Amino acid sequence: TTSDGIMLVQAVNGATSSASAFALDAPVAAGAFEYYLFKGGVSAGSAENWYLRSTLNTPATPAAGPSALEPTPQPEPEPPQAEPPPPPSELPPVPVPTDGDINNPPVDSTPPVQASDPEPEAPPPPPPAPPADPPPPPPVVPTAVPDLPTPAAG
């Protein structure tokens, strides 16, 4: 719309109205335009009239923005800390080899077996085992059939 807009209510002979006298119940749209209800126009003598316009009134000066904040100072970097020692092992320590290692096995001081050596003695036989307890006797199984009751003659 141009100028004042589409006049809906004209105040004549000095009539006045409050700013909340009229309101739209629903949006008013036609084609690509949406219209808003305004009290007063932009021309002289139209302060009490009511208009539909498709543009919103914008304030002459923009609203003041929030005040600039001082930036937060960056924290000083912390020096790296020494890494803690590893936890103690739960396994026993490995013994340190004394007479050689995997590449240099220790020297065996035992002389090798010779064909002329005497025959080794056999170990003594184990002591005899005590006799086992005899098994328990089997249970007695009945062999006779008990007498069954017979019905009485009627």
Residues 17-44: tens digit of each pLDDT:
888 899 999 988 888 888 999 998 888 8
Radius of gyration (Cα) for the chain, nearest Å?
A: 59
Domain segments of the chain: what residues? 1-16+26-57
b/e per residue 92-124 (b: at least 16 CB within 10 A): eeeeeeeeeeeeeeeeeeeeeeeeeeeeeeeee
Q: Quick check: 1 pLDDT over 60?
A: no
Averaged pLDDT for residues 121-130: 91
**pLDDT tens across 80-123, in order?**
888 888 888 888 877 766 666 667 777 777 888 888 888 888 99
Distance from C-alpha of 8 to C-alpha of 23, rounded to nearest angstrom: 12
Q: What is the pTM of this model?
A: 0.36
Give the pairing type, strands 33-39 and 28-30: antiparallel
User: In this predicted structure, what is the pLDDT of residue 67?
Assistant: 81
